[in-house]
Structure formats: C-alpha cells, structure tokens
A and B are shown apart, each in its own frame.
Chain A
Amino acid sequence: MNTPSVHLGVVDYSILALYVVFVIGIGFALKRQMKTSADFFLSGRNIPAWVTGLAFLSANLGALELVGMAASGAKYGIATCHFYWVGAIPAMIFLAVFMMPFYYGSKARSVPEYLKLRFDERARAFNSVSFAVMTIFASGISLNALAKLLHNLLGWEYNISLWVCSFIVLLYVLKGGLTSAIYTEVLQFFMIVLGFAPVVWLGLRDAGGWSAIKQKLAGVAVNPSAFNLADSASTTFHSDAWTSAWKPLLGGPSANPMGIDLFAMVFGLGFVLSFGYWCTNFLVVQRAMAAKDMKAARNTPLIAAVPKMLFPLLVILPGMIALALSATEGKGYQFPKAVIAEAKMPAAISAVRQSTAAGVDVAATSKALSSAAGTSFNAAKVEELLKSAPGTSDAQLAIRIQDAVVNDYDGVILSLVKRYCPSGLLGLALTALLASFMSGMAGNVTAFNTVWTYDLYQAYIAPDKSDEHYSWMGRVVTVAGILLSIGAAYFASMWTNAMDIIQLVFAFVNAPLFATFLLGMFWSRTTGTGAFIGLLCGTAASALFHACTISVGNLPGVKGGYIHIFWTLPSDMAQNFWLASFAFTVCFLVTVGISLATRRTKSDEELKGLVYSLTPKQTVDQFWYARPGTIGIVLLIVCVILNYIFW
C-alpha cells in the first residue's frame, strides 16, 4: 500500500553495489590476518591513529544520527550543536589526556575488564551484562529504523532490507573481526561526508546562504506556532532563538525551544551524559584500544575530535536549511509531515465540526481528529481550527486540517535528498545513509562479541579454554549478535512502548556510570564495595527521579511521574539532563561514603597502572607540541571559538 516516493536508476544501484563490494572485499582481504583471538577481538593492537580516530567517530554514527540530528536542527536550531561543542569534544579530550593511559596501559581488553582489575567481579558483571544487552537493542532499533526508511522511501520490502543489510555487516565482521569493522568504518566515514556534503551545499545555495537562513529563522522564532513548532499560539521566542547557541539558553527554559536551563545543559549534558558516554562506552573506547601503541591510542579521540567539531555543518545545518526553506515563499518546499489520505478527510472534517458544535476543548478535539485521520496534530493549530471552523467551507477546512498535522522532523534529511539529488547523486546520498547505519551496527556487534567472549563467557562460563576455542566463540557470537539484533528490530517494530521502556532502563544504568570511573581512576581509596553499591544506588536513584518527575504536556506513565509528581520540568530533554545529574551525584556520594566505611582490598602495587596517583608519570619522548595535553588544549580553544562565533 506504500508507494515509493523515489525511484533508483541504474547509476544509483551501481554506486550502491560498488560500495557493498568494497566493504565485503575489505573483510575478505583481512581474513588471512585473523589468526588468534586477539587478532579478531583487538585487531592485534596494530592500527595507526588516523584510522582508529576516524573509526572512533563513525562507530558512534548510527543511521539515527544523520536523521535525528537534522530533526533536532529543525526543532531546536543551532542549540543542537551543544551535543557536539559542549558534549562530545571536551569529553573526547578528557578521554585522550587523562583516561586512555589507564585503559590502554592496564592491558585490560575491554572496559568491563578494566572495572574488574580496578575493583572486582561485581562491577564488571553489572557493567558487561548491561552493556551487552544495550548494544543488541541499540543495533536493533537502528536496524528497524533503517528498514522502515528504505521501505517508505524506495518501496523495498521491510524484511528483505532488514536481512540483507544485516547479512552484509555479518559477512565482513565475521571475516575480518574488529580490524575489518574499523577499516570499513574509515571508508564509511568518507562515504558519509562525501555523500551528504553536496546535499548540504545545494541546500545552502537554495536557501540563499547563512545570512538568509538567519533572517528566515528569526521570523520563525517570533511566531513558532505558525510552523507547528509550539503547542500554544502565544509561545514566542526572541528572534535569535534558532540561530544563536547560548543567548537563548541564558534566558532560561522559556526562552529557548529546547526548554532547558543553563545548569542542565552544562552539567547534565556537558559533564555527566557526555563524559559518561564518550569516556566509558566500550563501543567507542574499543576503537582507541585497538591502536598500535599508547601514543596512537591517546591520539585516537583527539583525531576524531577535529571532524566531530565540524559535523554540525553536515548533520544539523540541513535541519535549519529545511526550516528556513519552509518559511520562504515561492520555494515550493513543504516541511515534511504525514499526509492525510483523501478517504479519511471527511471523517476528520466532521470530527472538527462536531467538536465545534459540542464546544469541547482542544485536547478532546485533537484526540477525535487523531483517531479520525490516523496521525497526530499540533495543539496550537487545532485551537485555531476550532475557532475558525464555523465560517469555513469543507474544502478550506481540509487544507487547514492538513496544515495542522504535526511535523515529521525525522523526514527532514530525506526531503532534502529528494529535492536536490538527481539520479546519480541520489545513489551516493543513499549509500551514505546505508554506510552510517552499517558503521553503527558493526560497532555494536564488535563491542558485543568482545564483551560477551572475554567478560562473560571466559569469566563466568568457560574459563581456561584454548585460544582457538575463544576465537571460535567470537565467530559464533558474532552470528548470534546479529540474529539477536534482528530479533530486537522486529521487537521494536511491534512494541514501540516496550522499546521505550527498555531504552529508559538503559538511561538509568548509564547515568551514574561516569561517577564510578572518575572515582576509580582518580581516587585510590575507592573500594570495590563502594563502587558496586554506588552504581546500584545511582541506577535506583535515576529510576526514582524518573518516577517522581514529569515534563510539561506529558501524562504520568512511560514519561515518568507514576509514583508522585514532585517536580514538573519544562521539557523531556530537561528531565533527561536533570535525571543524569541527580543519578551522578547520588552515585558519587554513595561511592565515597561506602568506600570510606569499607576496607580497601587492593594494594597500591595492584592498582599501579589503574589509578592516576599510583601510576608513575610516563616519560614522554614527544616534543611538547605533539603531546596529547597540548593538542587537547588547542582543540578546546578552537571549540571555545566556535561557541563564541555562534554565541
């Protein structure tokens, strides 16, 4: 029933095919080098820094990043860059300068294994189980999103897309292990950048350049409800709300479309969430741990930081371009939204007429409209509909009802691809999308098979087996991991709510994690019991915080507030950032408290190479300007300049 909106030509298929041949070819070319389990799981620690650096970046790019960041660019404007400039960059620099020496130097093969060396089996078990399950669901969610997208856009069968894409990833990971995942990630990095760059360039040209975009978005900001960006017609922002990164934030939650305050942004996102992700998530850290020596390992996140800093140009700007175009008359660009089928329109019209006659409120009308039309509606527009319905003809009303449908932000990037890409460039852009998905999936799978084999299978199920046995296990679990991801994808497509809950649980587990690592690495007094109980309390604290808070416009339930609402936050994002800050603080305090009350079980000698103060300073043979600290400071300065330019 879904008619594809785009048709691919021979050139497009040829580009796709070329890409597939090359990624699989890399897997087969590396097959010869996979001799021991260390080759398969750790790449034999033999890869140059620029390669691990770019892989570090693309492993983190799921299919959802390109789609999701463009969506946020339209929804929130340039403030979305905080995920990069406040979030990722400082955390990546911290990882390189302070944390990498312990990950790489400790000879741990994974992040959970570091926890075992530093603390004990409890922290490792907790971290490895939650991480393993999380990677499976993460790749499942992204797989489901991709297959749906290919179905809607190209009319490809959902099941076929799902299985074929997974099979390609399986093939090259199975053949070449982590090495081939990392090498293909580099190829995918260039594919993503070079595939989307022309779309952004054409969009920028079409919209009339940055200054024209700024001008149009100023018009949007003062009247956001006209573009279905606000739920109330009275909402209005300062004219630079979409185009300046900090000024709207300083005005408090009501002055910016994210509905967020400065503390939640800087501490919640910038410190707790970002450091928690970039510094402790094995998916990315694994790339740096595969580098050929300590210098290369520490340079990995630094090299990744350079393109990461510029990524907003590629992923966030398109969303802003789309919004600016939709605000420009005569461009013929319609912001993507669900189209109400003609057959359903009469029911929708009568729903509005009945509501007007009965005099019911906006919420009830929205509900009636949604069930009649099969899509959601913007509250501010529904309010207008109710007011204007009596004097409007059916034909006019139909147009206004269609206009009231909520924006489909996730459709932004594809709407631009469709607008600008003739056959040829279209194939390239689609290949870039596939590449970003595959790099994310391969990242998840390689992290999963390592954690499963080393931290769960070897640690608790079958210790003391031969190296061949673990190599074999690695391959078996790669297949199993892909099959589980496919299972998770089907699960996600059937039970969206269950999926939301699962993601929520992982947010609870992740929120306090950075406190444990921070104390573990920089305070030798931290004990295993303190770390474990701290983690449990932090996780419980985030669940409790969620159960006791809610954000404006949500009903108690999956969105929180189901025990009692003590605090109503201005937006989902604010709730999320405050939750992380709270969980971090609880984990930090409890870990410190319990550590002081319990005895250390590891001697100073055992903690050498694992804790900052007990590790002898490395003798650095590099010139001062080539040291990670120096490069880190330079990168931070550049990052500050970027923030200043878009202040």
Chain B
Amino acid sequence: MGLDIRFPIGMMFTLIGLLLAATGILSPEKVSLGININMIWGAALLLFGILMWGSALRASRKK
C-alpha cells in the first residue's frame, strides 16, 4: 500500500504532543489534582509520535 499509516499517526501525535507540552510550560497554572498534566501528557504523546514516526522511517528504509 502506498501509505504507511504510521507516518500520519506519528506526525499528528508529535504535533499535538508539542502543543500540549508547550501549553503546560507556558501556563503551569492549568493543573489537575496539582499535577501539570498538560506538560506530562504532552511529553508522553510527543514520545509516542516520535516512536511511530521512527518505526515508519525504519520500515521505509528497509524497502
């Protein structure tokens, strides 16, 4: 198939992760139960996005 779905998924979560993490850093007053959840979860999404992207890249190099 022409499209490896891991590329768009990776890209989207990388962007959303960056956005959330930036929100967490810029407005640390937005907390939930005293946790800066935007920053933590943004970082988690960023990591997930990069991993997806990375695995798609590796697969496309192998071809």
Interface residues of A (CB under 8 A from B): 11, 14-15, 18-19, 22, 25-26, 29-30, 32-33, 46-48, 51, 179, 183, 186-187, 190, 194, 198, 202, 205-206, 420-425, 428
Given A18-B16, A428-B16, A428-B20: A202 and B35 interface contact (C-beta under 8 Å): yes
Given A194-B48, A428-B20: A423 and B3 interface contact (C-beta under 8 Å): no
Q: Which residue from chain A places its CB closest to the CB of B3 in the assembled complex? A: A29
- CB < 8 Å neighbour of B15 from A18, A48, A428: A18
- Evaluate contact between A183 and B16: CB separation under 8 angstroms: no
Number of A-B contacts (CB under 8 A): 84
A187 CB contacts on chain B under 8 angstroms? 5, 8-9, 12
- In the bound assembly, the distance between CA atoms of A105 and B33 in angstroms comes to 54
- Evaluate contact between A425 and B1: CB separation under 8 angstroms: no
- Evaluate contact between B23 and A423: CB separation under 8 angstroms: yes
B1 CB contacts on chain A under 8 angstroms? 33, 46-48, 179
Given A19-B12, A25-B8: A425 and B20 interface contact (C-beta under 8 Å): yes
B31 within 8 A of A: yes
Q: Which residue from chain A places its CB closest to the CB of B36 in the assembled complex? A: A422
Closest 3 CB pairs of A and B: A422-B30, A424-B38, A424-B23
- In the bound assembly, the distance between CA atoms of A15 and B45 in angstroms comes to 12
- In the bound assembly, the distance between CA atoms of A30 and B3 in angstroms comes to 7
B8 CB contacts on chain A under 8 angstroms? 22, 25-26, 29, 183, 187
Interface residues of B (CB under 8 A from A): 1-3, 5, 8-9, 11-13, 15-16, 19-20, 23-24, 30-33, 35, 37-38, 41-42, 44-45, 48
- Evaluate contact between A425 and B37: CB separation under 8 angstroms: yes
6 contacts across the A-B interface (CB closer than 8 A): A15-B16, A30-B2, A202-B35, A424-B23, A425-B20, A428-B41
Given A11-B19, A15-B19: A186 and B5 interface contact (C-beta under 8 Å): yes
- CB < 8 Å neighbour of B30 from A25, A46, A423: A423
- Evaluate contact between B9 and A422: CB separation under 8 angstroms: no
- CB < 8 Å neighbour of B3 from A26, A422, A425: A26
How distant is A439 from chain B, measured CB to nearest CB, in Å?
14
List 14 additional contacts besides A202-B37, A424-B30; criterion CB under 8 Å: A11-B20, A15-B19, A18-B16, A22-B12, A26-B8, A183-B8, A186-B5, A186-B9, A187-B8, A190-B13, A194-B48, A424-B23, A425-B38, A428-B41
How distant is B31 from chain A, measured CB to nearest CB, in Å?
7
How distant is A58 from chain B, measured CB to nearest CB, in Å?
13
A25 CB contacts on chain B under 8 angstroms? 8
Given A22-B8, A186-B9, A202-B33: A424 and B3 interface contact (C-beta under 8 Å): no
- Evaluate contact between A205 and B9: CB separation under 8 angstroms: no
Q: Which residue from chain A places its CB closest to the CB of B12 in the assembled complex? A: A22
- CB < 8 Å neighbour of A198 from B2, B11, B15, B37: B37
- In the bound assembly, the distance between CA atoms of A18 and B11 in angstroms comes to 10
Residue from B5, B9, B12, B44 having most chain A Cβ neighbours under 10 A: B5
- Evaluate contact between A422 and B37: CB separation under 8 angstroms: yes
Q: Which residue from chain A places its CB closest to the CB of B22 in the assembled complex? A: A11
